[in-house]
Amino acid sequence: MKQIISASINLSDFDLQESDLLILDERTVVVTHWNWDYGLAHKFQRAALALVQETPNLRILICCNHPEVLTNGRGLQKPRKGESLELVEFRPEAHANLPFPLYQIERGGGLTFHHPGQFIFYPIVKLNPKALSLSLMIDQIFDFTIEILSDWGIKNLDHENKLLGIWQGKRKIASMGIAIEKLATFHGMALNMLENPHMKEALRSLNPCGLNAETYTSVEALGELPNNPLERFKEAFLKRVKHEWK
């Protein structure tokens, strides 16, 4: 599968090397790139999506983070019947002097943020109602994350809130935004691992995911982190993916 990717996609166009690709199992390739320019990462997602759509049994899982950047999706989460979410819509025209680049993208959700202190997981996979539906995939990504952080001593996390994400009470630690084209997914989860004062300051005048910026917290703020937390988390996360996503 690595050879299929290398033969179909010019990795250097996306600031990637062959060594950034890892075979997880007979159908799954993991791409890891830290501090990856968002524009290049987004273009690679599109190239990977096209390849997964046309290649039987291929899955491409991206683990990465980005320099400080803002992204805006197709729109805020819609309330279910009888619900009131009270979210604040982001209007780009009202924020002409944003401190970081802004990308308008295809995923669901509103404004969100990325920075080097996040662990980001983009699953480029074909959905299958019997094996891996969208709801199951999202639930398992959240479950894997909660299990790992619980092992690190971060307790009382859940994803049962009416707003999509991982929460500890009223504080949000991870966000999810997925896009689907021809039954294949792209975009994904951003887990706030480390604090970022520059991003925190910028968000004070914004409403990421329609929420007050103070809603957001990080693993670092909630407990002790192991050495090299992004790599440690990636290893533990992929171990669960390999076991569960047959």
Long-range contacts of the stretch 81-86 (C-beta < 8 A, 24+): 83/162, 85/162, 85/163, 85/210
Mean pLDDT, residues 72-101: 82
Give a yes or no: residue 187 inside a domain. Answer: yes
First and final C-alpha spacing in the chain: 16
209 is an active site residue: yes
Identify the active-site residue in 148, 209, 211, 219: 209
Q: Supply the pTM of this predicted model.
A: 0.96
Residue 43 belongs to a domain with what CATH number? 3.30.930.10
In percent, the amount of the chain with pLDDT more than 70 equals 99
**CA–CA gap between residue 88 and residue 170 (Å, rounded):** 17
- The domain total for the chain is 1
Question: Do strands 102-104 and 69-75 pair parallel, antiparallel, or not at all (unpaired)?
Answer: parallel
Residue 82 resides in a domain: no
In a domain, 81, yes or no: no
Structural domain containing residue 190: 2-76+87-244
Note whether residue 102 is domain-resident: yes
pLDDT digits (tens, 9 = 90+) for 198-216: 999 999 989 999 999 999 9
